[in-house]
Structures are given as C-alpha cells and as structure tokens.
Amino acid sequence: QSVLTQPPSVSGAPGQRVTISCTGSSSNIGAGYDVHWYQQLPGTAPKLLIYGNSNRPSGVPDRFSGSKSGTSASLAISGLQAEDEADYYCQSYDSSLSGSVVFGGGTKLTVL
Amino acid sequence: QLQLQESGPGLVKPSETLSLTCTVSGGSISSSSYYWGWIRQPPGKGLEWIGSIYYSGSTYYNPSLKSRVTISVDTSKNQFSLKLSSVTAADTAVYYCARQSRARGGPNWFDPWGQGTLVTVSS
C-alpha cells in the first residue's frame, strides 16, 4: 500500500484530456509538502514531468499541467498523443515516521 | 549536462550485501543545492525511495529499510554508494540513482536519473 494513492490505470483517445489523481493525507500533501510528477516510458528511467506542484521543467510540453488542493494533487494531460502512453508517478514528502520521501503506486496511461 | 551512472554486481546471493555506486559526471556532487538519492523498482512494480545523502555525509533513509541501508559519499571521486545488507528475493529490483533538489532547504524532486541497473537476488 503506497502512502500516496493513484488510480492503477487511465485511458483516453488521441486529442482528449485525461487527469491522474494523487491522494495523500495530513502528514504529506495536506501538510503543505510539494508534489512532483514523473513519466516513465517502457524500459526507461523515470523522467521529471512536473515539480513543485505545477512547474514544468524546460522541454516538457505545456500539454502537461499539475495542480494541488488540500490533501490531493492532479496531473492533467491535454491533447493526448500516442507517445504519452507511459506510467506516471506522483511523489511528495511525509513527515510521519521520522520523515520519508514517498511515491504513489503509479498510473498506467493507455492511449486508445 | 549532468549524468549519473550506476555500477555494481547484477547478481547477489541471499543474506549477502548489495553494493552499488553512482558516478556523477558533468557537475559536482559537492553542490549545496542538492541531495543524492537511491530509488528502486521491483520488476513490474512501482518506485520505492531508499535513501538520500548530502555531500557533507548527512543521510536520511526510508524508515522501512533503515536498519539495512548505508549510503555514503566520496566527493573526491564524485561518487555516492549504496549498501543494502541481508538481502532477500524481495530486494530484486532495478536500482536508480538520482540528484534530488534541496529547494527551500528540504528534500524535493529527483532530476536527472541514472539509467538504472537490475540487481537480482538469487543463489
């Protein structure tokens, strides 16, 4: 069981918009810790997609956006493309148990 | 452009110690702006943070692994290392090293990541 909860899978047709949720608690997201998102293409290392809740690193298309509210965060992908098919992970920090970096369980995005 | 590369044995026997090294190139490991971390991913599963180290040697570990983990840094070689003791088959995973931002003084996002190395625990 991951500290941060993500849906196991989401899907969408090319051109559509999908969102991936990341639900935490009062000891992590709800405590004000930032949420970061990663994209992992098949057989490759994770790549930073969103940092600090809503910031995109250089080179990440503006089709990807992040938001945070209360004890949850969301990743939105608009204008879905075939190459967006990947696993997506959220990450934050949890202040319980002496403090720990925590990841969500991951969400598999399928482009139909 | 900063790059990280993991190295170490791909096969470790049960009850032994897993040892990996991450070599950093294109930048200094002694930067005050970053931690350096280890993350693992069992086959077909999600990401698990193992621990992180600051160039001064200050460490923080995943509480669930803390009793078996040691992370160290060698600034002269621009490397940091992972030791995981008493391994079992459950420790079989791809192990990644990554740079971790210290934005606002705390542990934050990981970027970039090494390509990862598969370590199998088997006799």
Beta-carbon separation of A48 and B110 below 8 A: yes
**CB of B118 less than 8 A from some CB of A:** no
pLDDT tens-digit series, residues B44-75: 999 999 999 999 999 999 999 999 999 999 99
A57-83: average pLDDT: 97
User: pLDDT at position B103, please?
Assistant: 80
For residue A106, which phi and psi values (nearest 5 degrees)? Answer: 95, 150
User: pLDDT at position B22, please?
Assistant: 98
The answer to whether B56 touches B32, Cβ cutoff 8 Å, is: no
User: pLDDT at position B105, please?
Assistant: 62
- Residue-level length of chain B: 123
User: pLDDT at position A99, please?
Assistant: 77
Report CA torsion sign: B24, B26, B30, B33. negative
Establish whether the linkage from the previous residue to A57 is cis, with ω within 30° of 0: no
**CB of A7 less than 8 A from some CB of B:** no
Query: pLDDT band at A88, cuts 50/70/90?
Result: very high
**CB of A2 less than 8 A from some CB of B:** yes
- CB-CB: which of B63, B100, B114 is closest to A97? B63
DSSP state of A56: P
Q: Which residues of A touch B37 (CB under 8 A)?
A: 101
User: pLDDT at position A85, please?
Assistant: 97
CB contacts < 8 A, A to B, total 64
Query: pLDDT band at B12, cuts 50/70/90?
Result: very high
Q: Which residues of A touch B107 (CB under 8 A)?
A: 93, 101
Report CA torsion sign: A109, B62, B79, B84. negative
Query: pLDDT band at A2, cuts 50/70/90?
Result: confident
Residue B17: both structure tokens together: 């110690």
- CB-CB: which of A48, A98, A102 is closest to B111? A48
Which residues in chain A (74-93) have CB-CB distances under 8 A to chain B?
89, 91, 93
